[in-house]
Amino acid sequence: MNKHAIITGDIVSSRKIKPAIREKLYRDLEAFLKSIKKQWITGYEIYRGDSIQCEAISPAASLRIALMIKSFVMAYIPPSVQKKISADQSNGKQVRGYLNAEFDIRLAIGVGVVDFIKKSRLSNSDGPAFQLSGETLDTLKEDYPRIGFKTDDEKINNDIEALILLIDAVTQKWTQNQAAFALSKLQKKKDEEIALDFQVSLSAVNQRKKTAQWFALEKAIEYFESKFSA
C-alpha cells in the first residue's frame, strides 16, 4: 500500500500572542499553505485556530515541507513591526533584520498508510499516518524538541531520530532574517532569485547561507529524502 506523510502542528504559546496579531498570523499562514498546495502539499486544514494539518506530496518531501512551514512562522513579522521597518527604510535608516524570531510552531511528521482520507477536510480522515503524526505531536514539548518524526518502520525511525534532533537544534536558533532566507532555499530558489527578492548581493546571500547553517541543513534534507527514494 502507498505510504502517506501527514504533518500536524500547532503554534507555540499562541495564547500569549495579542489577538489582532494572532488573527493576522493565522490568516497569513493559511494563505501560505494555499500557495504551496499542489506543488508541495495535496491538502491542508487549519483548526482550533492555532493548529494545522496537511498532507505532503510524498514522504520524501515531508521534512522539507515541514521546515517550510516552520521557517514561514519564524520569519513572520507582525504588521506593526513591519510598518516601523518600512518607515525606517524610507528615512534612510539601515535595517539589518536580525531580530530574534518571535513566533514558532511545533510540527510532527507521520508516515504510513491511511484508512481513508478526505483532502478537503483532513480532520475527518484516519489511519496510521494520521495517528503517528498526532501522537508524535503530543510528545513534543514547549521548548525542545519542536520537530518530530515517526513512521511505521522502526529502522527508519532509528536512522532519522538523531538527524531530526540536530535539525531542530539548528532551526530553533534562527532569527527572522535567517528563517526568511531558509524558506527561499527550501523552495529551491536559486541564489540569484534570492538576491533579487532580498535586494542584496550574491556575497550577502552566501553569508546568509552560513548564518542559517544552510550547507548542513541541505545535506540533512537530502539524506532524509534518500531514505524514501527507493
- Position 85 scores a pLDDT of 59
Cis before 145? omega within 30: yes
Residues of the domain holding 15: 4-226
Give the dihedral of Cα atoms 33, 38, 41, 47; nearest 10 deg: 40
Report how many domains make up the chain: 1
- Position 47 scores a pLDDT of 86
Which CATH number is 90's domain given?
3.30.70.270
- Position 8 scores a pLDDT of 97
pTM of the model: 0.92
- Position 97 scores a pLDDT of 53
**pLDDT below 70 — which residues of the chain?**
1, 80-100, 230
- Position 95 scores a pLDDT of 54
- Position 229 scores a pLDDT of 76
Q: CA end-to-end span of the chain, whole Å?
A: 15
- Position 122 scores a pLDDT of 85
Rounded to 5 degrees, φ, ψ at 39 are -75, -40
Q: Tell me if 46 sits within 8 A of 30, measured CB to CB.
A: yes
